[in-house]
């Protein structure tokens, strides 16, 4: 299978709220050679902005005393999941939120699928990476350094934090974002 060709497109949509009202400023097109313009109704991937929402959820749940920053990340995962540890140190929610967990940026069982051309969605390689894949990776991973000892940006760790918070709340991530952030803020 051939890898999808990703094309860089420059576009932006900004919502501006001022004392005299609201307005939307947009620039660019949906794709190279595509004449359709973008506007305030254009749907974009949220990308790493989700990490801000995850951090807000963590702060909210800490302030409600539903979780603690120094709780082991494994505390609210199913018992069959073995979270990696090193030197007797467990990965905490704080480690996940500060990218110092020792977990890699991308799990090897996702990289393997990508390398073998088994990617089902070229635009979103995580689309078919499920909870079983997450638990399988965690249960078999060996940390290369102690949790909390060093910064390394980890999309995987940030995603795991969102999963753990949703699991603790007894819901899914999207519903938790909606009930705790976007609905209360009228977003």
128 pLDDT band (50/70/90 cuts)? confident
**What residues contact 81, with CB distance under 8 A and at least 6 apart?**
74, 135, 138, 139
Distance between CA atoms of residues 187 and 179, nearest Å: 11
25: β partners: 14
Q: What is the pLDDT of residues 86-119, one digit of tens each?
A: 999 999 999 999 999 999 998 988 855 554 555 5
How much is the pLDDT for 53?
94
Residues 88, 132: Cα–Cα separation, whole Å? 26
Q: Which residues are catalytic?
A: 48, 153
> Which of these, 149, 168, 186, 130, lies nearest to 54 by C-alpha position?
168
DSSP letters spanning 114-180 = HHTT--S-SS-TTTT--HHHHHHHHHH---SS-TTSS----HHHHHHHHHHHHHHHTS-HHHHHIII
User: What does pTM read for this prediction?
Assistant: 0.78
Q: pLDDT band for 122, please (50, 70, 90 cuts).
A: low
Q: For residues 174 and 178, give the distance between their C-alpha atoms in angstroms, rounded to a whole number.
A: 6
pLDDT value at residue 1: 42
Under the banding of pLDDT at 50, 70 and 90, the label for residue 8 is low
CA distance linking residue 55 with residue 70, whole number of Å: 14
Task: pLDDT band for 9, please (50, 70, 90 cuts).
Answer: low
pLDDT at 18 over 50: yes
Q: Distance between CA 7 and CA 32 in Å, rounded?
A: 8
Q: What is the mean pLDDT of the chain?
A: 87
pLDDT at 187 over 90: no
Residue 40 has pLDDT above 60, yes or no: yes
For the cut 90, the answer to whether the pLDDT of residue 65 exceeds it is yes
């Amino acid at each position: 299978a051939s890898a999808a060709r990703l094309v860089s497109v420059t576009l932006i949509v900004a919502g501006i709220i001022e004392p005299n009202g609201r307005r939307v400023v947009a620039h660019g097109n949906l794709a190279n050679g595509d004449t359709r313009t973008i506007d305030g109704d254009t749907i974009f991937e949220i990308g790493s902005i989700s990490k801000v929402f995850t951090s807000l959820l963590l702060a909210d749940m800490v302030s409600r005393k539903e979780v603690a920053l120094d709780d082991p990340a494994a505390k609210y995962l199913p018992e069959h999941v073995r979270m990696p540890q090193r030197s007797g140190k467990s990965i905490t929610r704080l480690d996940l939120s500060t990218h110092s967990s020792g977990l890699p940026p991308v799990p090897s069982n996702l990289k393997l699928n990508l390398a073998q051309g088994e990617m089902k969605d070229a635009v979103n390689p995580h689309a078919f990476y499920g909870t079983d894949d997450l638990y399988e990776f965690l249960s078999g991973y060996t940390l290369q350094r102690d949790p909390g000892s060093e910064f390394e940006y980890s999309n995987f760790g940030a995603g795991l934090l969102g999963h753990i918070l949703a699991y603790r709340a007894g819901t899914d991530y999207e519903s938790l974002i909606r009930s705790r952030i976007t609905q209360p803020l009228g977003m």
